[in-house]
Amino acid sequence: MKGKTWFNKACIALVTLIVAGLPILASGCGNGNGSTTPPPGSNTDAVKNPIKVGIMAPYTGAAASKGKPMGDGVLDAIKYINTELNGVQGHQIQPVFRDGQYNAPIETTIINEFISPSSGIVMFTTQASAEMTVVMGIANEAGLPGFTVFSAPNITQPAKHQFASFPDYGDDWVAFAKYYLANIWKGTGKPKMALHLLNNSTGQGAKDAADKSAASLGIEIVAVETHTSTTASEIESLTRIKAKNPDVIYISSTPPPTAVILKNAATLGITPGVTIGCGGASFTSEMVNLAGAAAEGVFGIYPTVAWGDNVPAMAKMTEYLTKNHPEDANNMDYITGWAEGLLIAEILNKAITNTPGGGNALTPALVEANGFKKLSGFDVGGLQGPATYTVGDNRFSKTVKLYQVKSGKITGIGSWIDAPYIDYGFK
């Protein structure tokens, strides 16, 4: 009996030693790549926690004509990713959606919520350059990475923690100006251009580009007028512009003010006759609906494909729009929102893949380093130019498209237009 008891105790001791040693053995095994840390993306947690993303949109207020369809698009895209694709590597995206109302104090309150460690938010987005201009200082100081859908040069230059889905309003102006010179202008000497600009970053971005590039392109800027997002009449400003006898007017604004300007220009007899071009924030079906016949023939730069174009994401996006938000039909701002959702998912996918511990280990700094800055040639379902991070250039895509209103419909002209990086020297 004594011998058997001793044997039993020895067996128990040996088993205990082996079990106790397993964590040590496991921790020293490595992963086959020369490191003792888990391979990128090896999230061994039994439960994959949701990942919180802050989303700010002017869903109501002065810019709701853009903010609502964009907000609808991004939330629908996230719903699709969560329900049909099981989230991102098994992690559900948890949107923390807030209506900024195009109101700076409200937007400031929202970003302070987003940067709070207790929020658990690892990245955020805005829809409008005006929103991001208000909040980016706070977000940059806190190290919370984000991207805005519509952008201005001041947001991504100098490059800090904020990025942009597309080329900015300055890029829009340059793209239109080059097209105008090459394909529309038939006169001699320099064409005379007037600018009509929203009195925030939407307008300032276009002015920054004109200030920097108009002379070298061979364009004379003869007038610069500004307007508010709630303007009801621009007869006085357009009368001043008309006195300068411009060949072309460029508008960088949102749809309702743009429609006012177009109708007033027709009333004053400026159009037809003077070419009008618009930046991306102006140029949607909402503008065409509001302006009516006054929109006919107007050109516009926009950063996405049009509804019905043959690209991979079109069918699923159309399915969700038809089911959830039929009121947004034909509004290209919904497309930018859907693309935003796909970008959020790809940034998180890259971050999970490149972060030891995977999704449950993500922090804002890791999402920026391992997600934002790892984007490379992501096709965004064909909805926009490929998304790539380039050191010093925080714009994800570098192409735009030209459109024109023909028979009341926004119609594409040609293929993608490159938008090379422009250094504005901002500090």
pLDDT at 415: 92
Q: Percentage of the chain surpassing pLDDT 90?
A: 89
pLDDT at 47: 86
pTM of the model: 0.87
pLDDT digits (tens, 9 = 90+) for 238-289: 999 999 999 999 999 999 999 999 999 999 999 999 999 999 999 999 999 9
Q: Indicate whether 91 pLDDT > 70.
A: yes
pLDDT-derived band at 41 (thresholds 50, 70, 90) equals very low
Residue 125 contacts residue 148 (beta carbons within 8 Å): yes
pLDDT at 77: 98
CA 62, CA 59: separation in Å to the nearest integer? 9
Q: Percentage of the chain surpassing pLDDT 70?
A: 89
pLDDT digits (tens, 9 = 90+) for 154-180: 999 999 999 999 999 999 999 999 999
Q: Indicate whether 24 pLDDT > 80.
A: no
Q: Indicate whether 217 pLDDT > 70.
A: yes
pLDDT at 46: 67
Residue 100 contacts residue 106 (beta carbons within 8 Å): yes
What is 316-343 written as a DSSP string?
A: HHHHHHHHH-GGGTT-HHHHHHHHHHHH
Q: Which amino acid is at 81?
A: I
Candidate from 20-34, 89-103, 294-308 with smallest mean pLDDT: 20-34
Q: Which amino acid is at 378?
A: F
Could you tell me which residues come within 8 angstroms of residue 2 by beta carbon, excluding any fewer than 6 positions away? none
Tell me the domains of the chain and their CATH numbers: 48-167+310-396 (3.40.50.2300), 170-302 (3.40.50.2300)
CA 33, CA 24: separation in Å to the nearest integer? 19
Angle between helices 255-267 and 235-243 (to 10 degrees): 60
Of the candidates 160, 136, 162, which has an alpha carbon nearest to the alpha carbon of residue 147?
A: 162
Q: Indicate whether 29 pLDDT > 90.
A: no
Residue burial 226-240, b: 16+ Cβ < 10 Å; e: rest: bbebebeebeebbee
Mean pLDDT of the 369-381 span: 97
Residue 194 contacts residue 243 (beta carbons within 8 Å): no
CA 298, CA 304: separation in Å to the nearest integer? 18
Q: Indicate whether 94 pLDDT > 80.
A: yes
pLDDT-derived band at 15 (thresholds 50, 70, 90) equals very low
